[in-house]
Amino acid sequence: MTTITIQIIEGLERGQILEELPTPVSIGREDDNSVRLNDERVSRFHAKIQADGGHVILTDLDSTNGTRVNGHPVQMRVLQYGDQLTIGRCLLIYGSQEQIADAHNKRQRSGNTLSSTHAKDHTIGQTGYLESNFDSQTGLEEDLFPAGPPELPASLPTIQKAQVSEVFAYMHEQIRKMIHESREDRDQKPPSD
């Protein structure tokens, strides 16, 4: 059985570290959930985290206010250590400090690091709240895929459906950024015949 760790960073339950939660994990306002969040913006049964094929998948359960991963709305997402889950006014981080540090170190050793245009500095400030680089020009809070593009699936059980969904979300995000950052060259002269 796969177990997971969730750290609650913001919300009434702030400071809680829920270790070795057996999957599946349900998140919501009701007492019957594995992770109960006392917030009126959280649906009774808001999201589910389950293990499939060696991966951990977050699924929004058609919640009223949606679920965000790294600042972006998602319906289904393969989680990576360090992903930030926003549910209502609550901010949760997937993985323990050790798991997040190990994953970061593995990416650095393998050369799968992010370019300076994608890397974001995140810290927990003196207030205890998450502080991140917010680009006020583009309006982008976080990269949807901070660890790089998702893996391509070989077949289509549940995990691979989630992975295909991520590939399309990644492509959509990159195209959106390109469109947002592009500008017309008004000084350019039209081509001559």
Dist. CA 190–CA 183, nearest whole Å: 16
- Which token pair is 22? 């057996």
95: left (phi over 0), alpha (psi -120 to 50) or beta: left
**Among 41-50, 104-113, 129-138, 158-167, which range has the highest average pLDDT?**
41-50
> What pLDDT sits at residue 126?
41
Tell me the CATH number of domain 3-181, given options 3.40.309.10, 3.40.50.300, 3.40.50.2300, 2.60.200.20: 2.60.200.20
Q: Which is more confidently placed, 78 or 180? A: 78
- Mean residue pLDDT of the chain comes to 82
Output the pTM of the full model: 0.65
Residue 67 near residue 60 (C-beta atoms within 8 A): yes
Domain ranges of the chain: 3-181
> What pLDDT sits at residue 142?
66
* Predicted confidence (pLDDT) per residue in 105-140, tens digit: 887 887 655 443 343 444 444 444 444 444 444 445
Dist. CA 20–CA 6, nearest whole Å: 9
Dist. CA 105–CA 88, nearest whole Å: 31
Round to the nearest angstrom and report the end-to-end CA distance of the chain: 69
Does residue 93 surpass a pLDDT of 90? yes
* Predicted confidence (pLDDT) per residue in 180-189, tens digit: 888 777 777 6
Q: For residue 44, what are the CA distances in angstroms to 21, 30, 145?
A: 19, 5, 28
